[in-house]
Each structure stands twice: as C-alpha cells, then as structure tokens.
Structure 1
Amino acid sequence: MINDTICALATPNGIGAIGVIRVSGVDAKAITSKVFSKSLEGKVSHTSHFGTIKNEEGAIVDEVLVTVFDTGKSFTGEESVEIGCHGSPYIQQQIIQLLLSAGCRIAQPGEFTQRAFLNGQMDLSQAEAVADLIAAQSRGAHNIAIKQLRGNFSNKLKELREKLIHFASLVELELDFAEEDVEFADRTELKALVADVLAYIKRLAQSFELGNAIKNGVPVAIVGAPNTGKSTLLNQLLEDDRAIVSNIAGTTRDVIEETLNIEGMLFRLIDTAGIRENAEEIEALGIERSKEKIKQATVVLCMADATVDGEVERVSDWVKELEESYPDKKILPIINKVDVASNKRKWLQISAMEGTGIEALKKELVNAVQGDFDLAEETIVSNARHYDALMRTSEELEKALEGLETGITGDFVAMDIRQAMYELGQITGDISTDDLLGNIFAKFCIGK
C-alpha cells in the first residue's frame, strides 16, 4: 500500500489562462484543506468548490476551483484533489510550495499513472498508452493510443493468454495421469490452437512497423538527379514555398525536412540534394547527406525528369538497385514534368509545377505505409517493448508447435507454453519488475 501523498503541476509549464495542480494519496483532502479556505473532508466525490489559497502569512495567493475525487473514483484510484488556479508560473509554484509544507511530496515522472497501474485502474499497456496519447501528433497516432488506452490490445492479449492457460492445463493434467496413459487433449486440436495463436501474435508483431511509423512520423526521402523537380514537389505537397526553386542544377545543397499530415498519418518529407557525379565540394557534402537520408527513410520517392532523354531508364536501374540494397523500404518511382513531355511507363506520373497527380501520390504514400492492415478494425502495435515481447512469445510458440508435431513429451511443450504466457504477461504487467516499471514511467512528464 502507498502511504504518502504526492503533488505536481498537471498542465504545461509557462504562462496560460489556467493551471491544474494534482494531489493524490491517502491525505489528499486533508493536506489541501490546510491551504484552502474550506475544509474538503466529507465533500462528495466529483464536486468542485470555489475558494482561496492563502500563504503562511494569511495573504491570498489565488482564487481557485478545487475538485475532489474519492478513493476508487479517481485516475490514480486514490483519494485525489485537483486545484484549478490561474496560469501564472509564480502562483503555481507558490501553491505547490504550500502543499509541500503541508505534507505532500513532489511526484516523480509518471508517478500518477504508475499509481493508477499499481492500484488496478489500468494494466501496463494501458498506462503506456497514456504517454502515447499525450505525445500523439496525428489522427493515426491518436487512434492507436486511444484504442490501447480503452483496453482493445489488453483484452485481446488476455483472451490469447486464457487460450494458452487452457492448453497448458490440459497438457499438465495429462502429466499427472501419465501412468494411467490418459489423454485429456486431442493433439490435432492443440496444434490448431497454438497455430492460431501464433498467427495472430505474428500479425501483431508485423503491425509494429506501421504503428511505429504512425507514432513517430513516416520519413519520406525525395531523391533524384539535380533539377528533376524535387523541391517543387516538396512545395506542392506542403502547399507552401518551403524550398528554393530554380532552373539551376544543384540549387538544393542541403537536406530540407518538413512534416505533412495525410489522412491522419504524419509524414516527414525530406528534400535532398540532387545526386550526380562530379559535384563541387559543398554540393558533394549535400549529396552524401542525401544518401544517408535514403538509409533512414521508410519510403523513397525516386524522381525522373520526363523531359531528359534516357532519364527514366537510368532511374529504373537505380530503383532496382535500391530495392536490392534496401528490401525493407518502399521505393516509389515517379515521372515528373508530364505537362511538358509524356512517357508511357506505368509509373506514377505527376507535374510538380502544375499539381497534376499530387492527390494520387498522397494516396500512394498512405498505401505504401499501411499495406494490407485495416486501421479501423485491427489492433496496431506502436510500442517497441510490446514488439520485443511479441517476438519472444512467437519464438516460444514455434517451439511448442514444433514439439507437438515431432511428438515431444508434454512436459517440454508445457514449458514452452508457460514461457509464451510469461512473455505476454510482460506486456500487460501481469509479470513485471521494479526495474521495468521504473524504466517505463521515468519517460512520462512529472504531472502524469
């Protein structure tokens, strides 16, 4: 049981219209009552009370609105108070100092959410979703985080664990009656069950590439020879003159990065220096950076100039090289300047200057990242810790499936299943350590 009471600013630092100071713990009401003009003892949960906060000399620090939450009815599951004050950093610090003097201590990063987890208000994956929800910069990232916070991911994992528990119980029951040669589970059904769970776990793990891209933004490198219209394309996508455009080859000498939201996905567009041989020294440095950005990108837009003889063929060869060198990347070849010259190759054809084909390009970008995943219906994994646990679970299930197919004894199969259950439990916090919890919640902000 947690016996102390913590406090922290729950709203961002800096000047604003209002600020919220959160207090949570066994003495939240009693401590707040010491600095508030009204006693909060006996006040009904989820009610707000207007009054003043005074310092030790009796001077008014601020007029505030205090909201109380009873044990079991708050975010943390503990008795809690939220103090709404004016958004002056001075006022906020003065109130926090008074709370500390009255018996609170400053919360550690993520401690409110950690207490919510420890008090059974949410599991570990839901707690991590709180941080993802706060950090979400796009509709896609928000949707993934809110689904996880609402328990979609947790509920599915619990369902899978229950299936594995049932499986392990049957196998271990047979071990107890080994001398009687009793078979409680049909091996064919067990193999089908494990194969079914394994397929779903692998699908979840595969979704991490998409989830991570949506969460952090999808890096898209725009590459090609000098003067193919890369900067013009960047400006057209952004609907802003972000990059300098001219007919002089080599105008872009450094990498330019901007963000673009398409259908709720955040794309990090990277306009690179044109890649060519025999570039002068400064331009050559830009070209080297361009090559580095290709390595870092998830999607690479390879642009060809329709007005240059042999350009499309050269880019076609380059696309093949990139696909061989980076099989995990999405390489999208594009023919630009089709308003001036035509080309029959079945690539995406655009005019960056006129805006032709830009909407089709946006759809291609979304499809390249999303693949065959249904964002509306499927659970998407965006947390690297969850991905690692899913991969370890997959390894254990593959061992169990192999054991069933080769006729290995039930005790070894049960060990693999138990280990798979353990790995799944790491995600939801059914299996956790102090070091794991400390590492997760240390990444949160102080007031959350």
Structure 2
Amino acid sequence: MNKSLLRQVQKEARNHDTKAIASLLEKEDFHSVAECINVLGSDRLVVFTSLNGEKQAKIALALNYRSKRSILPQLPDKTIVSFLQLSDEDDAADILQFVSDEHRNAILEKLQDEKRKRIETLVKYHPETAGGLMDMNFIVVKPDFNLQDIAEKIDRYTIREKKTPLIVATRDDGTIIGYVPYRNLILTSPDSLVKDITRSLPLISAQTKKRKLLHLLSRRKLEVIGVTDTKDQLLGIIHVSDLAQLIESETTDNLLQFAGVSREEDMLDPASVAVKNRYMWLIVNLGTAFLAAFVVSRFENTIAQMAILASFMPIVAGMGGNAGTQSLAVVIRGIALGELAWTNGRRIILKEAVAGFFNGLITAAVTIPIVWWFTKDLGIALVLGSAMIINLVVAGFFGAMIPLSLKFFKIDPAVASTVFVTTATDVFGFFAFLGLATVVLL
C-alpha cells in the first residue's frame, strides 16, 4: 500500500468516516489492508470495522499478533461467528484464542455440530503446541484400498469441505502406517494398493511445544508431521510449509526476550505501556550495576594515583560484555534447539572458557602495543592486556554457565541471562584490571 493512501486512511479514521475508509480500501487486496491496519495505532478498530464482513474475515487471519489482540476482543459475538463460518478449523481456533472463555463458549454454540467439535478439539491445546498448530484436513484410508477407493473418498471430502485433504493410511485398530503423497497417486499404476505407495509419517504428541517441533524440523527434512493424542490416535496434520510464520515468531520472541522486552509490547503502544513492560528489568540491571560500582570503589586510591586507568575501564567492560553476549547467543540457540542440556553442559562451558582465553590472547596482542604507544608505559599496557584475557575467559565461562543454570531451574535463559552475564564481566573485569594495577604498578 502506498504512503499517500495510508495517510488518507489515517485521516478518515481520525474523523471516524467509515464510508470513506471503505471506499478507499475497496479495491485493495486483503493482505495490503492487513498491512495497513498493522501499522496503525488506536485507529485499527475503526478501519477494520469499516469493511464488509467477508473482507473482515480474510483480513482477520492476515493481521499480526498485536493487531488481533487489540481488535478481536472488541468485536461482537455475531461478527466472530461469521468469521468462523468462513474460516478453516485451524484458523478459527487461532481467532478464538483472542476471545474470552465466556464469549468463546457462546460463539461455539452457534456453529454447526461437526465444525464446532473440530474447533473445540483444537482450542483445547495451547496455540504454541503441536495441537494448537495442526489442522484436521485429512482423510483415513486402509492398506488394501486401491486408487479408485482413494479417489472416491477424496471426491466426497472435497465436495463437503471445499479443500484437498492429506491421505493417511491406518490399520483397523487405528495404528498409523503413513501417508500417501499425491505425486505417488499420479505416478503409480491403477491397480496399486495403498500399502504399496505409502510413505512414513513422522508423529509427535499434541502437547509437544513449538521449540521441540522446530528442533525436529532443523534435524530432518520433512513435508508433513502427524499429531497424535495420548492413545497414539491421529488428531491432525502439520504442514511444514505452513510453519514459516512460526519460525519468524520464535525468532522475534527470542530477540525481544534477549533485550528484556515483552512480546506483548507494540511499537505503537503509548509510553505508559513501554514503561510498565520494561522498568522491572531496568531496576534489576541497576542493582547489578551498583555491584560493579562497588568493586570500582574498592580501588579508589589506585584510580586517584593513576587517573589514566579510568580511561581504559570501558575497554575492559566492553570487550567482556561483547564476548559474553557471543557465548550467550550460541548457548541459548543450542538450548532452544534441544542440543544443549545440563548433562553435556560442562564440556560447553569449558569450550567457551578456552575460546575466551585464546580470543583474549589475540585481542591483548593488538591492545598492548597500542596502549604502550599511547601511554609510553609498558606496565599499564601489560596490565590491560592481562585483564582483557582474564575477562574474556570469564565471559566465555559465564556466557555458557548462566543460561544452562537458568534452564536447569526452569527459568527462560533468553529472558534473564543478559543481565547476569554483563554483571559478571563488569565485576570480574574491573576487579582484574584494577587489582593487577594495584599489585603491579603501585
């Protein structure tokens, strides 16, 4: 959508001129309209409700998380019902997660029995589990079905549901054999049976969390995944091609958590919301900063006698903080993908500490000649280089140890690690630098 049209929409939204908004957006496709609504602030609801019902239903699914959160809870039940009637079951479940339990039950009662039962199955599961991500677009065939049997079943399903299903083969007791790719139907001979053209179907529990699901996808090249209940009966299907948004969402969540920002925070929210979401971590960070300041205060006499030391303290802190963040990023990624746990953590902690030592040697080799030339004092240069080596070892050690420890205590390492790693590198870095200066130079 061009900027000129967006400005016009914003202007009419402020005037609450719904007819003008509808006219402006009449020829725009629903993805463009969704993008427009996503960048609006408090005017989102006005623009959304200016559109006709069918367009609203399509746009509702294309909105981002924050737009859905601000718009859907404010819509009347009958509007939500119309969305669900026009949506697939998995999309309907996605919409209902933004509706209160009280309204959700009233909405579901107004749907057809079969569709209601399917949606109720989906909404039982958290939206970030396999059960919340699956769809129920599949048919079940038996191993001795021929191509004609399959074709008839596909035709009946397609006429009823207006979409093409995945073909899943099961035994009489419900045991899942696999699935039949459509290319196999096309390339095989007419007298072939299901058991001859079935491919293995990877299975996961409906309670599987999205991180474990993404870990599975990172290790295996898959097209579809079957989702089962506690009795290993098939509940639904996850198409890997549909998970791009999930991967983007997970990456965004990790980035926000790493920075100490809530996923709930919207760029267009008022300042009060940003303050509410951020102040606690800033206070925690303030407390840890006082700890570093306390360490520096213990060397007040050293700094007073050699004031030039103060000018090099940011180098020690900055190098340690950057090295710690590098270790932290690698370890948190490993934890998220299920590759790291406390059981194999010792080796990782040692590896990061050793890497920190050698990186410290390299950076010290660069730093010492520069500081010597700058200060004409080899002692200061050697103290700074030594402190840098020590601090990069500390950064590697704590950059690996802290997230693993937090994971062991069931605390999300992406949320809490940064503050503690930065504190460790500041405290140990200043202590090493000023302590060595006190011993060697004074």
Q: Is this a same-fold pair by TM over 0.5? A: no
The TM-score with structure 1 as length reference comes to: 0.22
Between the two structures, name the one with larger relative contact order (CA 8 Å, sep ≥ 6).
Answer: 1
